[in-house]
Amino acid sequence: MEKRWLVLLSALLVLSGTFSLHSFGDDTDPLISKSYFEKKMAELEKKIEKEQSTVSTGGAKFAPVYFSAGETIIFKEGTEFILRSGEAQIVDPSTNGMPDITDGSNLANGSVLPVNHMLLCPRSDNRGIYCDTEIWLMIKGDYSKKQQSESQTQSETKDDNLNNEEL
C-alpha cells in the first residue's frame, strides 16, 4: 500500500513541476513586455557610454598620454597634469583659471600651457586644454577628450597612449 502512495505522490510531483515550469514566460505570456525591456536596455546603453567617455589613469600614478593637434582635453575635479612636449593652451569657460602648482600662479583661459609645470583642475566644470600641436601629457586622474569638430566626447583608452619612448 505504501508503494502505491509513493508512486502516486511521485507522479503528482512530476506533473505539478511540469505545469509550473511551463506557465511562466512563453511567447503568449512574457514575464516583461518587449517595450519595457527595450527601454531599460536603452537606459543601460546610455549609462555605459557615459562611463566609457571618461578615462581614468589609475589615480595613484601619473600616466603618459599622447594627444593629437586639434583635440580638447576636459579634466575632472582633482586631476593633475604636466605638459611634457608640444604646445597647448588653457580652456576655461568658468573664467576662474587653472592653478599652476609649480609656479604658484593661475593660468587664465587662452594662456599658453608651460612645459614641465604641474597643473591641477579644481572642479569638473569643463576646464581643460586645447592642443595646438601634438602633445604628451603626464596625467593623474580622470579626463575626457574630444575633437574640435565633434560635439560629443569620444571614448579613449589609456593603453593606446602609453608609449614612453617619446617622453
Interval 35-75: pLDDT, tens: 888 898 888 888 777 665 566 665 578 999 999 999 999 99
Q: Say which CATH class 55-148 falls into.
A: mainly beta
Interval 119-148: pLDDT, tens: 999 999 999 999 999 999 999 999 998 765
Residues paired with 88 in a beta bridge? 131
Q: What is the pLDDT of residue 131?
A: 95
pTM score, whole prediction? 0.57
Contact between 129 and 144 under an 8 Å Cβ cutoff? The reply is no
Task: Read off the pLDDT of each residue in 112-119 and give the average, rounded to a whole number.
Answer: 95
| Sign of the CA dihedral running 41, 44, 49, 55 | negative
What are the boundaries of each domain within the chain? 55-148
Buried b (16+ CB within 10 A) or exposed e, 75-109: bbeebbbbbbebebebbbeeeebbbbeeeeeebee
Q: What is the pLDDT of residue 26?
A: 66
Q: What is the pLDDT of residue 99?
A: 94
Distance CA 132, CA 141 (A): 22
